[in-house]
Structure 1
Amino acid sequence: EEGAAIACGTGTAYQALKRLAISGLDTLAVFGQGPVGLSATFYGAVMGARVIAVDPVPERRELAAKLGAAETIDPTSADSIEAVRELTGGVGADASLDATGIDEVRQNTVRSTRIWGRACFVGEGGTVSLAPTPDVIHRQLTLHGSWTFSTHTLKELANFTVNRGLPLSDLITHRFALADAKEAFELFDTATTGKPVFVWD
């Protein structure tokens, strides 16, 4: 089960965290707490960062806290940019990651990052509307795109997880037999779960 997560979703998040060079010196804001975002929250916390998890779904915010988020933000009840700044003494996050692919959330990801900070787009699809000069250039931001990972990184992540005895199984919230695929995908479409997996007896 953990191997399934590493091979699809978790590895994507890990590669993005490597692009961002996350360390214990960082406050990391993760926008979107689906399986990729939750993985970024989990491994970001393991790497020592103080993680702020942003998601409108209560179940996913609760899971993010269980996986290591120091704080969670509900963007439906607070301005996420201002909330991140408030939690960082008005400065903004050292690094931020978008796992949604939604225009407004991508904007918030960039704008909640501090001057000289780093941001990474992981969520696919959609577009983004940014003003390059005030949003990126004058704030000296480094903006990354991160898509997938190499077989070397896959092995590195597996070793990183096993050697530290990390409870990656906590990310997996639902297990289904292949015969229950319709039910599994209907549940996943609700966007309230962690990582669902199919299991073979």
Structure 2
Amino acid sequence: MFVKGVVFVGDRRLELVEFADPKPGPGEVVLRIMASGMCGSDLHPYRAESPPECIAGHEPSGIVEEVGVGVSAHMAQVGDRVTVHHYAGCNACDQCRSGWFQLCRAGTVRYGADANGSHSAYMLVPAVTLVKLPDRMTFTSGATIGCGTGTAWGGLKRLGDLNGMDLLVSGQGPVGLSATMIASSQGARVIAVDVQASRLELAKKFGAAEVVDASDVDVAVAVRELTCGVGAPRVLETSGSSGASEAALKCLSTWGRACFLGLGGGSFEVDVSKLLTTQATLMTSWTLSIAELQRCVDFVGRRCLPVDDLFTSRWRLDDAEAAYAHFDQQSAGKGVFIFD
């Protein structure tokens, strides 16, 4: 038996390729995929000349179809509704044992890049990467929490308590919109920044108290005006743009904390002499641990946050070429592949 999966073949082209049905080995499970999100980081291999030769996609959500030897009922059972921490490690080093598989000291596997991902009807993963979904949570919600929304959660956790804080969220793509939604529900006053009016409108919908159009105004000046000249005590930069990162840093207040998690490929210089007298803290965030993934699922479920609304387009796998051509424009929210 064979299943079809999306494979990027270079220069914004893809193919639906047949693969043998996956079979679980010891400690593994096979998922029947119900939803597979399209992540902004997918656009890097999609646009590349020589992308990885594997099934794309790393935002899976689905049902456990089959379990391998050594998988206890506590870990996974056939029929469980799950999302996936989309990395695998050695499970023995200190980083893996603390739930940070992506920081494995022996080397990590990222699904959709180093191993077959979720843009297919079935997916093989280690049972230790699974997080169960509440019964009332949709599979599309589980898909975005697995990476996009989860990445936002991880960055916000790095910034600490946000209740009552002014928080600048730079970039209102799917991760930035997730951050706006979560932080607003945690009591932050979110100032959302982007260059696209459509995304700023979505930011308002998801709870942003203020929006700043970076294509029209000086972001640092606008944010200082919105914060009575003080600046933002918390900054989350999600776009990865060099210019956006520089602008976001200029918005940081004295004793401020800024977290950078965008994968845009840009770089920028930090003048330490200018930061020295501000007592600023700069940090990065690389998605989140599996323990935080569980907390994110629980939080979204308890608050009934509308993360489904991050998906502005839904596709069938046969429409993958059109789906990625549309997503490549980066003019709206997320896309997701839906499976019956």
Q: How many residues get paired?
A: 200
The alignment partner of 1:115 has SS state of strand
Q: Which runs of 5+ in 2 are unaligned?
A: 1-139
Structure showing greater Rg: 2
- Aligned to 1:18, which of 129, 137, 157? 157
Q: Which residue of 1 aligns with 2:270?
A: 130
The alignment partner of 1:53 has SS state of strand
Moved over 2 A (4+): none
Q: Which amino acid aligns with 1:81?
A: A
Distance 2:180 2:284 in 1: 18
Residue 169 of structure 1: how far off its partner (Å): 1.2
Q: CA RMSD in A?
A: 1.0
Q: Which residue of 1 aligns with 2:258?
A: 119
Contact 1:98 / 1:106 at 8 angstroms: preserved in 2?
yes
Distance 1:130 1:156 in 2: 33
Q: Which amino acid aligns with 2:179?
A: A
Contact 1:177 / 1:200 at 8 angstroms: preserved in 2?
yes
Q: Which runs of 5+ in 1 are unaligned?
A: none
Q: Which residue of 2 aligns with 1:4?
A: 143
The alignment partner of 1:129 has SS state of coil
| 2:331 aligned with 1:184 | no
The alignment partner of 1:48 has SS state of coil
The verdict on how the C-alpha distance between 1:130 and 1:157 changes in structure 2, with shifts beyond 3 A counting, is: same
Q: Which residue of 1 aligns with 2:174?
A: 35
Structure 1 or 2: larger helix share? 1
Q: Which residue of 2 aligns with 1:70?
A: 209
- Aligned to 2:235, which of 57, 77, 96? 96
Distance 2:296 2:177 in 1: 16
Q: Which amino acid aligns with 2:328?
A: D
Distance 1:105 1:17 in 2: 18
Residue 22 of structure 1: how far off its partner (Å): 3.6
Could you list the per-position Cα deviations for residues 156-175 of structure 1 after superposition, in whole angstroms to 9, with x for gaps in the alignment? 10011111222211222111
Distance 2:258 2:305 in 1: 26
Could you list the per-position Cα deviations for residues 49-77 of structure 1 after superposition, in whole angstroms to 9, with x for gaps in the alignment? 00010001111000011001011111111
What is the percent sequence identity of the aligned residues?
46
Distance 1:164 1:33 in 2: 21
Q: Which residue of 2 aligns with 1:195?
A: 334
Structure scoring higher RCO (CA < 8 A, sep ≥ 6) equals 1
Could you list the per-position Cα deviations for residues 166-201 of structure 1 after superposition, in whole angstroms to 9, with x for gaps in the alignment? 221122211111111111111111111112111112
Q: Which amino acid aligns with 2:158?
A: R
Distance 2:171 2:312 in 1: 17
Q: Which amino acid aligns with 2:221?
A: E
Q: Which residue of 1 aligns with 2:59?
A: none
| 2:154 aligned with 1:47 | no
Residue 126 of structure 1: how far off its partner (Å): 2.0
Contact 1:27 / 1:52 at 8 angstroms: preserved in 2?
yes
Moved more, 48-57 or 20-29: 20-29
Contact 2:180 / 2:192 at 8 angstroms: preserved in 1?
yes
